[in-house]
Structure 1
Amino acid sequence: MTDVTYRPLDTPKPVADDVWIVDSGPHWLAGMPLPVRMTVLRLSNGGLVLHSPTRFTPDLKQALEALGAVAHLVAPNTAHWSYMVDWQKRYPSVASWAAPGLSRRPAVSASGLRIDHDLAGGAPQAWRDEIECIVVRGTGLTEVALFHRPSRTLVLTDLVVNVEPEKLPFPLAIGARLVGSTAPNGRAPIYARLAMRTGGDEAASAARRLVALKPDRVIFAHGKWFESNGGQRLREALSWLTR
């Protein structure tokens, strides 16, 4: 079977100062395997922000604790939250943050996920000097992007999807091409674009704000992230929403 993931899995990989990614998966969506990724940001006080937590393993927990104290768990959009329940069980006193609207989803209530705060008001005080939060609101899909100012790293979830077709099983590769989410010029799949476009001027303005940040790199949950020339590649990837 084709390996859709980016090995090594479930281990922090350095990206920039105080920024790591954790590749995991496959994550199964409607019977289809996808690579999935968590981003770890370390604050100046040593605390770690786990953005879109992936599956929990004891070895990963140990590796993260060697980098700093896990201080914040973030469910950054209304589709990325299911793995966070396991992390809450291991870190019951750590603050959990979520995209606006996530707490109203019936599946979230049934899962036992605890949401301490939502990010509707932007970055919390504990991050504000280091991480900017930009909310992109759609219908059925809302995402909170994090911009790590010290490293100029933008962290997304599904606003960009850039899967490599050669890593996917044949039917999934065809489907990814059809929805416009294949490397090297991937973008959000068409159903996500439709959901975000319902956000109108507010969503478009938020997307333009992301582009204006001109990040050095852009990390997202699925596929080959933008390791360089992040600002230009982001401009192209979000052109469907910024026009």
Structure 2
Amino acid sequence: MLKPFGREIWIADGSAVSVAGFHYPTRMAVIRLSDGGLFVWSPIQLPDSLRVEVDALGDVRYLVCPNSLHHVFVDDWRRAYAGARLYAAPGLREKRKDIRFDGDLGDGAIAEWANDIDHVVVPGNLITTEVVFFHRSSGTVLFTDLIQQFPANAFSGWRAVVARLDLLVSPEGAVPRKFRLAFTSRRAARAALARILAWPAERVLMAHGTPVQEDGQAFIGRAFRWLTG
């Protein structure tokens, strides 16, 4: 189930989750830090087979929810890895008061993984505040919902019409139209994007979309051309 995506990073695809009748595939990433510990981004459902593969990579130390929408399976991981520290994106603590979080993802660096991973909070979106990550050794930028792409035949009926209008079935990953309209401050979003574009991105990973294996920085620039143009 785990597949190598680059140096010290693996990905796994999980079962779909339903939101208003739309079925969203799930994807997670596991990053092995320079000290050997594991950083788990956007945890998916945890079957025994996946747990065996993760345990073979190292010790799970950090569980990360990169926005307030990706939290469905995190409690299962919390129970399975009681010693791991759980980090919440802005807004998630208020949404999941039933879960004890150990830290928050803000503008400052997280010392535990700062040698390997950088992050940027993209503020001012009414749907969710997403935290975008950059894994240095693999050159991978990790987006959760800000960039999405579904196969052209993923939806049918009225949902296919909505998906097309929302840019979910674009030829390559794009920022959904609803997210574009939900930004209350494009100036703040552009400032965050400038920091993201400063990363020497080679690859781009999305929770919902075809991973990008090369020219990642150019891909991100195209996806956000509506914001910078």
TM-score tier by shorter-chain length is over 0.9
| 1:7 alignment counterpart | none
**Offset of residue 170 of structure 1:** 5.0
| 1:162 alignment counterpart | 149
1:29-81 residue CA offsets vs partner (Å, 9 max, x unmatched): 11221211111111011111110111111111110011111110000012111
| 1:5 alignment counterpart | none
Out of 71, 79, 89, the residue aligned to residue 89 of structure 1 is 79
- Contact between 2:37 and 2:59, CA under 8 Å: does it hold in 1? yes
Out of 170, 173, 181, the residue aligned to residue 168 of structure 2 is 181
- Structure 1 unaligned runs (5+)? 1-10
- Structure 2 unaligned runs (5+)? none
| 2:61 alignment counterpart | 71
The residue identity in structure 2 corresponding to 1:94 is: A
Q: How many residues align?
A: 228
3-state secondary structure, aligned to 1:55: coil
Report whether the alignment pairs 1:51 with 2:37.
Answer: no
| 1:146 alignment counterpart | 133
3-state secondary structure, aligned to 1:66: helix
- Whole-Å Cα distance in 2 between the matches of residues 170 and 41 of structure 1? 39
Report whether the alignment pairs 1:30 with 2:42.
Answer: no
**Offset of residue 113 of structure 1:** 2.1
Supply the RMSD in Å over aligned alpha carbons.
1.6
Out of 109, 112, 117, the residue aligned to residue 123 of structure 1 is 109
Query: TM (normalized to structure 2)?
Result: 0.93
Q: Post-superposition, which runs of at least 4 consecutive aligned residues in structure 1 deviate over 2 A?
A: 166-175, 183-186, 240-243
The residue identity in structure 1 corresponding to 2:167 is: G
Query: TM (normalized to structure 1)?
Result: 0.88
- Whole-Å Cα distance in 2 between the matches of residues 139 and 237 of structure 1? 17
3-state secondary structure, aligned to 1:222: coil
Q: Residues 131-142 of structure 1: matches in 2 within 5 Å?
A: 131-140=117-126, 141-142=128-129
The residue identity in structure 1 corresponding to 2:89 is: A
Report whether the alignment pairs 1:211 with 2:197.
Answer: yes
- Whole-Å Cα distance in 2 between the matches of residues 100 and 37 of structure 1? 20
1:143-195 residue CA offsets vs partner (Å, 9 max, x unmatched): 11110011111011011001111344454333221101224233122222222
Report whether the alignment pairs 1:40 with 2:30.
Answer: yes
| 2:90 alignment counterpart | 100
